[in-house]
Amino acid sequence: MKIFFGLVVFLFLFGCTPYLDGRPQFCVKADQEAEAWGLDKAIETWSDPRSNVRFSKEPCDADSIPVYVYVVDPGECEQWAGLAINEGSYRVVELNDHCQMNQTNKENTILHEFGHVAGVEHVEDPTNVMNPKITGVTTVDPDLYRFTEVELR
């Protein structure tokens, strides 16, 4: 009993959430514009059983981390096509509509940003979706992305 209580206190103090199946869950809440960017494909890809994270659309479990996905037009496209912002108890993904990308690049952008939501950093491999440039993407490999709860905070 003391060990269980100690674990609960540790998880509370350090912001980790125990997940029933051991996989952190992200609850995606998006508008219709974001749906057109390939939202379902991004959810399915990052929820692959080989990855240890899970995305799903609302309604979601109470212990899921909300992810709010918006399409925005900041009036310029020079710096970014998408942003993933960690706000602590929730995440925000902004997709830059000013860039006027084709559908493949939109899908790669949302895949890339969901990777950041899950805690994945940029990689140098130009064919990997987590490369900072979205052109030339051919691989999304959930086997590469295994996270601890501490890394996902």
Q: What is the CATH number of the domain that holds 81?
A: 3.40.390.10
pLDDT digits (tens, 9 = 90+) for 52-100: 788 888 787 888 899 999 999 888 887 788 999 999 889 999 999 888 8
In this structure, what are the phi and psi dihedrals at residue 62, rounded to the nearest 5 degrees?
A: -65, -25
Q: Which two tokens stand for residue 131?
A: 């490369």
The separation between the first and the last C-alpha atoms of the chain, rounded to the nearest angstrom, is 27
Domain that holds residue 103: 20-144
Residue 153 belongs to a domain:
no
Residue 3 belongs to a domain:
no
Overall domain count for the chain: 1
Residue 4 belongs to a domain:
no
Task: Give which of 97, 94, 107, 103 is closest to 75, Cα–Cα.
Answer: 97
pLDDT digits (tens, 9 = 90+) for 38-58: 899 888 888 877 777 888 887
Q: Which amino acid is at 78?
A: E
The reply to whether omega before 59 is within 30° of 0 (cis) is yes
Long-range Cβ contacts of 6-13 (<8 Å, 24+ apart): none
Residue 49 belongs to a domain:
yes
In this structure, what are the phi and psi dihedrals at residue 21, rounded to the nearest 5 degrees?
A: -100, 10
What's CA 98's distance to the chain center, in Å? Answer: 22
